[in-house]
Amino acid sequence: MKAFAKAAVRLVAAVVVILALSILGFIGFASRSEIPAITPAQRGSFDASLIKLGSELAAVGNCATCHTVPNGKLFAGGRALSTPFGKIYATNITPDPTSGIGRWSEAAFTRALREGVGRTGEQLYPAFPYTHFTLLNDADVHALYAYVMSQEPVARATPSIELSFPYNIRTLIAGWKLLYFKDGRFKPDSAKGEMWNRGAYLAEGLAHCGVCHTPMNALGAERKDKHFDGNSIEGWYAYAINKDPPAPVHWTEDALAFYLSHGWAKDHGLARGPMVEAVENLRSVPGDYAKAIAAYVASGMPEGKTSARIQESAAGKETAAIMKLTSADSLTSIPLEANSDMGEKVYRSACANCHEAGRPLPFGALPLSLSTGLSGPTPQNATNVVLYGLQPRPGERSPIMPPFAAAMNNAQLEALLEYLRTKIAVKQAWPDAAAYIRKARDPATMPALFPSPGIQKAHSAQGSATW
Amino acid sequence: MVKLNVNGHTHEIDADPETPLLYVLRDDLKLNGAKYGCGLGQCGACTVIVDGEAAFSCVTPILLLEGKKIVTLEGLGTAENPAPIQRAFIEEQAAQCGYCIAGMIMRSQALLQKKPNATEAEIRSELQPHLCRCGTHMRIIKAVKRAAKIMQGKAVNEAAL
């Protein structure tokens, strides 16, 4: 007995020592050194062309989207990001020496972007997409630094994180990184062209498309096995942009490039939800950013043919003819539920007036047989758009869709969605539309709303042949 | 037959259920406050309040509206006894041709019911969908701010509008 007790004590002691050593080792591994503070650089000390490049890169990287509160000072931080684990706030990245990053050297800035470690050595939450920014090359980081450090310093303290235990322990982020983060610059694929590689560098790195378009696991890491497979974010659904996108008309490289730089595409409709911010940023920069991203993303999408029904629709044929084709197509036609009689009436009297008018996009409405909102995996986006419409962009030309939240009750909207889904998209009804509708209406869970994309060239938006 | 509750009264409407509310208001009920502008929900002239929320009556078929409470400009006040929001628009002389004003008033009313202390930024953002070709926007914004004060029984500080 005594020997056994001694052995047990020894075993426990050994386990304790190993555990302690592991914890110490982990802390050692997790702790990163402080990079000394610098005297803030003179705002005028950076080369103008470098600053310009940096401003373009910052737009493509959507930096301001998180690091600026709506109508707030640029890059002064404070925008809350809700995560399943609680709230965190985007930091002040103006060159203010106390509340911003004015005392960060370029080395500290680079380490934050590429390794997710702050100047004093603190681990940064991966809501800051260093998992993507790690791909950035030296020249681009250099330009971003010049641009950020040339902005107006704003004294505005970033609110503290509001995360539950244990997510509030920053050291643990090092463990998360062990599992899900790989430090490393972009490596071009020599088998592909220059444009493709530039697009891959931008889409996977700076533009961090996967943050919205790739599903996440329970710990908020993008699932490598589901790259670009679509994901629900901020109350919207970011569609799959891989080999199985839900768009009725297949995307082409040209259509995608146009969409990314204009906020709409002829056969696909308008950007909405969080994507509006991405396209607003892309349309603000000159050059081939959108084209390169399109070249890369489109290369992963299918090329195959679209159905005859959809081709007719895309060609702008009389919608009546398309509707006839739909109902005559007995192979794909799905029987109406009891609801759909109501749904059809609502569609005819509230939607068709614009959606069947045949006026060209972006100010005319999309024929709904082309709508990805209706052919997508969830009713989330269609629900949001019917309820809240597409709101005008203040001070700019932008398309408007009237909201129907006041006019339609949940049952009416459910009937409408069922009709649109089964008779216009010709797909199986969404089983859970009612739950989506309730969630989209509830102020606690409603989607983030964004004004519709601004349209730069109203003169050519009137159906001229060039579009 | 569709039963509509407009300005507190129930009406039996003998019209196709797919008829837009605007036509029923103007043609059947002779309530001409809401105006026909674009017919596509793009200009705001036809705005009424449905269950407390602003809605474009030109794109709202009456079949959606049974059991809901509809309020039009006529339901707010009269020429003799204008509602606070109407008084404010008159005091600011916010109308020029006036065609858009009924819609502007209805959306502003809905806004102030929800947010009695709406900021200027909120007023501007809320009125974005409304077009005014005369350019009386600045007076309209002042009128809404004035209405907010009147509704809360507060003194109107002219300089602060």
> Which residues of chain B are within 8 Å of residue A353 when distances are taken between CB atoms?
39-40, 59
What pLDDT score was predicted for residue A22?
Answer: 75
Per-residue pLDDT tens over the stretch A64-75: 999 999 889 999
Q: Determine the distance in angstroms separating the CA of B141 from the nearest CA of chain A, rounded to an integer.
A: 15
Q: Is the pLDDT of residue A338 over 60?
A: no
The better pLDDT of the pair A298, A17 is held by A298
Range B3-30 average pLDDT:
97
Dihedral of CA atoms A249, A253, A254, A257 in degrees, nearest 10, equals 110
Does residue A42 have a pLDDT over 90?
Answer: no
Q: B63–A349: do the CB atoms touch at under 8 Å?
A: yes
Domain boundary pick from A152, A180, A208: A180
pLDDT-wise least confident of A139-143, A151-155, A309-313, A351-355: A309-313
For residue A85, give the nearest of A167, A180, A172 by alpha carbon.
Answer: A167
Considering the domain architecture, whether residues B122 and B57 belong to the same structural domain is answered as: no
Dmax over CA atoms of chain A, in Å, equals 95
Is the residue at A270 inside a domain?
no
Q: What is the CATH number of the domain that holds B94?
A: 1.10.150.120
Do A31 and A171 meet the contact criterion of CB atoms below 8 Å apart? yes
A177 pLDDT above the threshold of 70: yes
Which residues in B lie closer than 8 A to residue A412 (C-beta atoms)? 64
pLDDT tens readout for residues A296-322: 999 999 886 666 667 666 665 544 444
Give me chain B's average pLDDT, please: 96
Cβ-Cβ contacts under 8 Å, B128 against chain A: 391-392, 394, 451
Instruction: Tell me what pLDDT residue A308 has.
Output: 62
Confidence (pLDDT) at A255: 95
Rounded average pLDDT over A89-114: 97
B5 forms beta bridges with B10, B69
Banded pLDDT at A288 (limits 50, 70, 90): very high
A415, part of any domain = yes
Task: Give the per-residue pLDDT at A12.
Answer: 73
Provide the pLDDT for residue A335.
47
Q: Which residue, among A312, A198, A293, has the nearest Cα to A253 in the 3D structure?
A: A293
Chains A, B: CB contacts under 8 A, how many?
A: 63
pLDDT over threshold 80, residue B69: yes
Each residue's pLDDT tens digit, B123-141 = 999 999 999 999 999 999 9
Please give the structure tokens belonging to residue B123.
């007023």
Q: B-chain residues within 8 Å CB-CB of A349?
A: 17-20, 61, 63
Token digits of residue B34: 């809401």
Among residues A164, A180, A196, the one where a domain terminates is A180
In this structure, is residue A200 part of a structural domain?
no
Same domain flag for B70 and B101: no
CB of A42 less than 8 A from some CB of B: no
CATH number of the domain at A344, please.
1.10.760.10
Q: Per the CB < 8 Å rule, is B63 touching A348?
A: no
Q: What predicted TM-score, i.e. pTM, was given to this entire model?
A: 0.88
Beta strands in A137-276, from DSSP E residues, in sequence order: 162-163, 231-233, 236-238, 264-265, 269-270
Q: Same domain, yes or no, for B62 and B90?
A: no
**CATH (domain of B17):** 3.10.20.30
Q: What is the mean pLDDT of residues A383-404?
A: 93
Hey, what amino acid is at A197?
A: N
Write down the ipTM of this complex: 0.91
**Across chain A, what does the average pLDDT equal?**
88
Q: Mutation test of the interface with chain B: which of A71, A345, A349, A351, choosing the one with the most B Cβ atoms within 10 A?
A: A349
B122 in the same domain as B71? no
Domain that holds residue B144: 84-160
- Is some CB atom of chain B closer than 8 A to the CB atom of A39? no
Looking at the structure, tell me whether residues B131 and B63 fall in a common domain.
no
- Residue A43: what pLDDT? 75
Residues B42 and B20 in one domain: yes
Write down the pLDDT at residue A432. Answer: 95
**Mean pLDDT along residues A105-121:** 97
Judged by CB atoms closer than 8 Å, whether chains meet at B42 and A408 is answered as no
Asked whether residue A461 carries a pLDDT value surpassing 60, the answer given is: no
Cβ neighbors of A341 (< 8 A, separation 6 or more) are none
CB of A313 within 8 Å of any CB in chain B?
A: no
- Residue B111 and residue B122 in contact, taking contact as beta carbons nearer than 8 Å: yes
Whether B52 and B90 map to the same domain: the answer is: no
Contact A392 B129 (CB under 8 A): yes
Query: So what's the pLDDT on residue B160?
Result: 82
Measured in whole angstroms, the distance separating CA B154 from the mean position of its chain's CA atoms is 23
Which chain B residue has the Cα nearest residue A344? B18
Please give the tally of structural domains in chain B. 2
- Least CA distance to A394: which residue of chain B? B128
B60 lies in the same domain as B111: no
A362 preceded by a cis bond (ω within 30 of 0): yes
Pairing of strands B9-13, B69-71: unpaired
Domain boundary among B44, B75, B106: B75
pLDDT surpassing 90 at residue A334:
no
Last residue of a domain, one of B75, B97, B119: B75
List A99's β-bridge partners, or say none: none
Query: Of A29-38, A47-56, B46-55, where does mean pLDDT reach its minimum?
Result: A29-38
Rounded to a whole number of angstroms, the distance from the CA of B121 to the nearest CA of chain A is: 10
- Is A440 part of any domain? yes
Query: Is there a contact between A402 and B20 if contact means CB atoms under 8 Å apart?
Result: no
Is A353 close to B59, i.e. CB distance below 8 A? Answer: yes
A163 touches chain B (CB under 8 A): no
Q: Do B129 and A404 touch (CB under 8 A)?
A: no
B69 and B92 belong to one structural domain: no
Task: Please check whether residues B52 and B116 belong to one and the same domain.
Answer: no
- Cβ contacts (< 8 Å) between B20 and chain A: which residues? 349
Note the pLDDT tens digit of each residue in A249-285. 999 999 999 999 999 999 999 999 999 999 999 999 9
pLDDT(A337) > 60: no
User: Alpha-carbon distance A324 to A356, whole Å?
Assistant: 13
Query: Could you tell me if A359 lies within 8 Å of chain B, comparing CB atoms?
Result: no
Q: Note whether A44 and A137 are within 8 A (CB).
A: no
A350 close contact with B: CB closer than 8 A? yes
- Domain span holding position A137: 43-180
Give the mean model confidence (pLDDT) for residues A116-128.
Answer: 96
Mark whether B93 and B130 lie in a shared domain: yes
A16: amino acid identity, one letter: V
Residue A65 near residue A277 (C-beta atoms within 8 A): yes
Q: Which residues of A touch B40 (CB under 8 A)?
A: 353-354
pLDDT value, residue A6: 74
Q: End of a domain among A117, A146, A180?
A: A180
Q: Among A6-10, A61-65, B86-90, where is mean pLDDT lowest?
A: A6-10
Q: Is the pLDDT of residue A465 over 70?
A: no
Nearest to B128 among A348, A394, A405 (CB): A394
Q: What is the CA radius of gyration of chain B?
A: 15
Taking contacts as CB-CB distances below 8 angstroms, the residues of chain B near A409 are 64, 68
* Nearest CB to B60; choose among A391, A394, A407: A407
Distance between CA A258 and CA A254 in Å, rounded? 6
Between CA A164 and CA A421 the distance in angstroms is 40
Does residue B34 sit in the same domain as residue B92? Answer: no
Among the candidates B45, B75, B105, a domain finishes at B75
How many whole angstroms separate alpha carbon B98 and alpha carbon B104? 10
According to the model, what pLDDT value does residue A20 have? 74
pLDDT of residue A340: 58
Nearest to B50 among A71, A350, A406 (CB): A406
Residue A413 identity (one-letter amino acid): L
Higher-pLDDT residue of A6 and A376 is A376
Q: What is the C-alpha to C-alpha distance for residues B70 and B55, in angstroms, rounded to an integer?
A: 10
At A327 the pLDDT is 42
Please compute the mean of the pLDDT values over residues B109-116 and round it to a whole number: 97
User: Residue for token digits 């109107």?
Assistant: B156
Domain count, chain A: 2
